Structure 1
Amino acid sequence: MNWYLEVLKKYAEFNGRASRQEYWFFMLFNILISAFLATIDFFGGSFNVETGVGLLSGLYSVAVLIPGIAVTVRRLHDTDRSGWWLLIPLIPVIGGIVLFIFMVQDSTSGDNQYGSSPK
């Protein structure tokens, strides 16, 4: 839970580096919270079938959009890549796979152009 809160504290910080642990724990808690809120929306009656989003899960998604982008950019920086690589999923099928591979790769050792190693 600490990693999740650390990402939220760095709400719109796109500079620096984020470790694999920081990124993946944020994503894990993000998925768990989203699933919980979607369940509440479904049983509470605020789930819209046409859009596939409920009130609480929609508000949560908007609230964590910027921190999610920021931690992904910092994670790309940790692998010594520009944050612009975040746009690669715009390429159908292959783009998402490439971004996933970048996210699971180990950090570059030592300092790089984006800062010192978060390890």
Structure 2
Amino acid sequence: MRGRASRGEYWWAMLLCLLIEAVVMLVTQAGDAIIWHDASGDGPLSTWVVFIVELVLLVPTVTIGVRRLHDENLNGWWILLPLAFLLAFMVIGAVSISDPNRIMVAGLLVSLLMGAAYLTSQIVLFVLPANPRGSRFDDSRNRQ
């Protein structure tokens, strides 16, 4: 993947994705409440439609993130760092909740730490200023 994205381009794209997800969640939860009388947000409509929307938005989210990292002169593979923290957060949270007798307190503390690490890595990676050396990621056809 080539090219770069400015801070503004990245954050406006993230805001658009967030708004799309929020609208879809509200509409599908209303649909679940009306059709299946399930206002909990766990009905079939909200579950599947939100899942499909998340999958559709995954590609543009990852591509704009990689382009943002390129603008900071970082390799696009750095996008996996926040995803690793998020995955660890989800796994540890699921294990500690599913078996309360296991590592309940320790699991929740580690889960909270992983969540904080995820948010911190997101902020640090995507708020850094542009680096002129990031032009190495530009498409060679567009260079002058």
Would you call these one fold, judging by a TM-score over 0.5?
yes
Q: Structure 1 length normalisation: TM-score? A: 0.72
Q: Which residue of 2 aligns with 1:10?
A: none
Matched residue, 1:26:
13
Per the alignment, residue 117 of structure 2 pairs with: 94
Match of 1:112 in 2: 135
* Identity score, percent: 27
**Could you list the runs of 5+ residues in structure 1 that have no partner in the other structure?**
1-13
Q: 5+ residue gaps in structure 2?
A: 86-113, 140-144
1: distance between equivalents of 2:124 and 2:130? 12
Counterpart of 1:39 in structure 2 is 26
Cα contact 2:74–2:134 (8 A) shared by 1: no
1:111 CA drift (Å): 5.5
Asked if structure 2 preserves the Cα contact closer than 8 Å seen for 1:41 and 1:55, the reply is: no
* Aligned twin of 2:56: 63
Counterpart mapping for 1:74-89 below 5 A = 74-89=67-82
For 1:34, what is the secondary structure of its paired residue? helix
Q: Is 1:72 matched with 2:72?
A: no
Which amino acid letter does the alignment assign opposite residue 25 of structure 1? Answer: W
Q: AA paired with 2:25?
A: A
Q: Report which of the two structures shows the higher radius of gyration computed on alpha carbons.
A: 2
SS at match of 1:64: helix
**What is the total number of aligned residue pairs between the two structures?**
102
Q: Which residue in 1 is equivalent to 2:94?
A: none
Q: TM-score, structure 2 length as denominator?
A: 0.61
Q: Is the 8 A contact 2:69 2:125 kept in 1?
A: yes
Structure in which a larger fraction of residues adopt helix: 2
Q: What's the Cα RMSD here?
A: 2.5
